[in-house]
Amino acid sequence: MNKAELIGLIAKDADISKRAAGDALNSFIKNISNALAKKDRVTLVGFGTFEVRMRKARKGRNPRTGATLNIPAKNVPKFRAGAELKKKVK
């Protein structure tokens, strides 16, 4: 499913226009992104938790030359599924 299909489903379920559904989805994405940028955790009970985790620095290898490279530590977004979502995907 892509974003346009999701907007269509939201509009149908909520009985609103596709434009309003698109605005709501964009707002949802923007606000989650802003919270993660501030390193806040966003928990949607039953669905899951979005959070930022630090990935350690590590050694890597250039596949073309075989040379070893240092990959620096960085923050990465993570999603952990909630109990209800895990049950649905079984």
Task: Say whether pLDDT at 90 is over 90.
Answer: no
- Letter string b/e over residues 16-43, b meaning 16 or more CB atoms within 10 A of that residue's CB: eeeeebbeeeeeeeeebeeebeeeeeee
Read off the tokens for 64: 């073309």
Task: Say whether pLDDT at 3 is over 90.
Answer: yes
pLDDT at 73: 97
Task: Say whether pLDDT at 11 is over 90.
Answer: yes
pLDDT at 23: 97
pLDDT digits (tens, 9 = 90+) for 60-69: 999 999 999 9
pLDDT band at 59 (very low <50, low <70, confident <90, very high): very high
User: Helices in the chain by DSSP H: which ranges?
Assistant: 3-14, 18-37, 83-89
In 3D, which of 48, 54, 61, 50 has the Cα closest to residue 76?
54
pLDDT digits (tens, 9 = 90+) for 15-56: 999 999 999 999 999 999 999 999 999 999 999 999 999 999
